């Protein structure tokens, strides 16, 4: 808030009046300039702090997604074995596979952090960054949301699988053809969902390689 005060003594002539006017104008310009410099400094500092916290949070999430992708690869292998077993049972309901079924439906999930991102949005720090940089951050956290959505879908698939298992329980290692059909259907959905879990981390690395390299330092 800038305050403008009138001169303490009356102006004596036109020259004196314009001198006072010039003095006030220069003073206002200096004050506005200083205020602008302070504001720009505050905005720059806010952007730098947000950049640091976002980069640290992304590093943390990258480590978690790296582990998650490895786990997903292992889960996909188990899923393939499950589907191979169920296909054998569907083909030969009274064969050996139906009486010695080994089904592994264990899923894992990974939590990702978004506190720094929410804070940057709330403080408006992104608006003080270069447009391309803000877009990179936005794209990365969009994929974080996609990753979490895919994991929620996996949890739903798992719940549906156990629902099918409850309707067609495995008794003494034996699975009926009806049970194999129901489980294969659920595993089919799960297999499709797994691909959506691996896509977001891959997107972040492929589309933001220079940025990811910076984040890894």
State the pLDDT at residue 140: 86
State the pLDDT at residue 20: 66
Check: pTM over 0.85? Answer yes or no: no
Q: Assess contact for 187 and 178: CB atoms under 8 A.
A: no
DSSP sequence for 98-156: HHS--------------HHHHHHHHHTGGGGS-HHHHHHHHHHHHHHHHHHHHHHHHHH
Residues 32, 37, 42, 47, CA torsion sign: positive
State the pLDDT at residue 114: 92
State the pLDDT at residue 18: 62
Q: Assess contact for 157 and 186: CB atoms under 8 A.
A: yes
Low-confidence ranges of the chain (pLDDT < 50): 1-2, 207-212, 214-217
State the pLDDT at residue 89: 80
State the pLDDT at residue 216: 46
State the pLDDT at residue 119: 94
**113's tokens:** 């952090």
State the pLDDT at residue 50: 92
State the pLDDT at residue 49: 92
């Amino acid at each position: 808030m800038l305050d403008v005060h009138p001169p303490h003594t009356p102006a004596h002539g036109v020259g004196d009046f314009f001198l006072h006017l010039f003095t006030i104008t220069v003073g206002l310009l200096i004050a506005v300039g200083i205020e602008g410099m302070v504001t720009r400094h505050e905005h720059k500092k806010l952007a730098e702090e947000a950049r640091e916290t976002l980069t640290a949070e992304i590093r943390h999430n990258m480590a978690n997604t790296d582990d998650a992708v490895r786990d997903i690869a292992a889960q996909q292998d188990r899923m393939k074995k499950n589907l191979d077993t169920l296909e054998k049972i569907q083909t030969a309901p009274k064969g050996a596979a139906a009486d010695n079924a080994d089904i592994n439906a264990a899923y894992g999930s990974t939590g990702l952090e978004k506190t720094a991102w929410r804070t940057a949005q709330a403080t408006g720090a992104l608006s003080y960054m270069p447009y391309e940089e803000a877009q990179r951050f936005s794209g990365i956290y969009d994929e974080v949301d996609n990753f979490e959505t895919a994991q929620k879908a996996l949890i739903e698939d798992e719940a549906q699988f156990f629902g099918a298992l409850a309707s067609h329980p495995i008794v003494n290692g034996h699975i009926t053809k009806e049970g194999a059909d129901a489980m294969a259907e659920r595993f089919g959905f799960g297999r499709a969902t797994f691909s959506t879990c691996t896509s977001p981390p891959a997107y972040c690395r492929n589309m933001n390689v220079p940025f990811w390299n910076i984040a890894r330092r």
